[in-house]
Amino acid sequence: KWGRKWTANQVIREQKRKDIQDVLRKQGISSGSKTMIGSYQKAVGMVMEKLGKEEWDEADWLAGVWNTTKAPPEVQAELAEKRGHDYCRAFAKDMWQKCGAHVVMMVAWKDGNGGPMATIHDFNDTLDDGKAFPDGAVIEKHWLDYARDIFSVQNEGQCDNTDGEDGPPRKKIARGRKRPKITLPVLDDGTAQLPNILEMQAQEKKDLLQSFLTHHYCLVSGRKKATVPWLSIIKNPGLYFADQYFPATTPFKEPTKLTYAQVTDILHFWRHWQQDTPHDIFKFQKWKDFDGILCDPVTEEPMANESGKGKPGQSVAG
């Protein structure tokens, strides 16, 4: 919860995060799974049972320090990445319910590598009959420049990768011309990886989102050139992918229909998954064939061409 105070228990959870994950891993529980939700607290308890009085006293002392000053940079980076979105949403809801006020939040922080991260959170379209601020992309560049300035990052050009990752080349897009195709880095199992999105404009982010989802739809269908059935997925996303792969507070839409804040939240959500489980960022669990029938994922064979040759998965009622 935003505005929370640190306790000894919470300090230990942060400090012993690796130990807690090791307990879950030894039990065969994967990160983000439904099983993990019910088992996480038990794993925390197992780790805490091994702690002595001195460790608890130190955690209690650290909680006081973190409450009066601030948490260490690595803890701040972790919370900003994992909880920042939720804190902002809670604040926006409180402002609306208690003050009748609409807010748009511009947030900048350092990631775990010390690089600047920035985004704009807008939850106004989720508050009763509210409407999202339409010009977030207009102020994006100024906010990114501000983030670099306060974190003392030198901007040496559009292709500067501030978090040390290789991103797609930035190209200025002239009006009336076809936008450059995005090529995503891919792991050996076919999982596409998302580049740093810090310097991307709104349209670039939407193009990236579309390329990412299209890539994974091609994987599940076994076709090199498959078209994502946006309307079908919008009607029932749960048929096509598990809830864990998409932020619960953001609606699934065709990328061009998403607001700047929504597409940014989705990409940040996947980037967070990518840090912990790079081989399990997003997966479609069904695909629709030419007859409109939902099918299971194809077997692990080379992707079929447009003629449809290849080994399809089992058809299911759709």
Helix (H) or strand (E) segment spanning residue 75: helix 73-99
Residues 61 and 77 in one domain: no
Question: Is 187 part of any domain?
Answer: no
Give the total number of structural domains in the chain.
3
- As a 3-state breakdown, the chain gives helix, strand, coil percent values, each rounded to 5, of 45, 10, 45
Helix (H) or strand (E) segment spanning residue 120: strand 116-122
Question: Is 193 part of any domain?
Answer: no
Domain limits for position 3? 1-71
Tell me how far the alpha carbon of residue 177 is from its chain's centroid: 30
Residues 214 and 262 in one domain: yes
CB 27 within 8 A of CB 39: yes
Residues 107 and 54 in one domain: no
Question: Is 10 part of any domain?
Answer: yes
Of 10, 43, 71, which closes a domain? 71
The position carrying tokens 């920042």 is: 84
pLDDT per position in the chain (318 positions), as tens? 556 688 998 888 888 888 888 888 888 876 555 666 678 888 888 889 888 888 999 989 998 988 888 888 888 887 787 778 888 888 998 899 999 999 998 888 877 667 777 888 888 888 887 888 887 777 877 888 888 788 765 443 333 333 333 333 333 323 334 455 678 888 888 888 898 887 677 888 889 999 999 999 999 998 888 889 998 899 899 999 999 999 988 899 988 888 888 898 999 999 988 888 888 999 999 998 877 888 999 865 444 444 444 444 443 333
Residues 235 and 221 in one domain: yes
What is the DSSP secondary-structure string of 206-269?
HHHHHHHHHHHHHHHHTBSS----HHHHHH-HHHHS-GGGS-TTS----GGGS-HHHHHHHHHH
Residues 246 and 233 in one domain: yes
**The pLDDT value given to residue 135:** 79
Residues 27 and 56 in one domain: yes
Question: Is 300 part of any domain?
Answer: no
Residues 67 and 130 in one domain: no
Residues 6+ apart with CB under 8 A from 244: 32, 33, 34
Question: Is 174 part of any domain?
Answer: no
Question: Is 142 part of any domain?
Answer: yes
CATH number, domain containing residue 206 = 3.90.1460.10
Of 21, 37, 71, which closes a domain? 71
Residues 77 and 45 in one domain: no
Question: Is 182 part of any domain?
Answer: no
The structure tokens listed for 293 are 């029938």
The position carrying tokens 């670039």 is: 204
Residues 274 and 235 in one domain: yes
The position carrying tokens 């130190």 is: 58
What is the DSSP secondary-structure string of 34-65?
HHHHHHHHHHHHHHHHT--HHHHHHHHHHHHH
Residues 54 and 106 in one domain: no
Residues 207 and 278 in one domain: yes
Of 51, 71, 91, which closes a domain? 71
Task: Give the three-state DSSP class for 24.
Answer: helix
Question: Is 194 part of any domain?
Answer: no
What is the pTM (predicted TM-score) of this model? Answer: 0.47
The structure tokens listed for 233 are 């997925």
**The pLDDT value given to residue 180:** 59
Residues 2 and 27 in one domain: yes
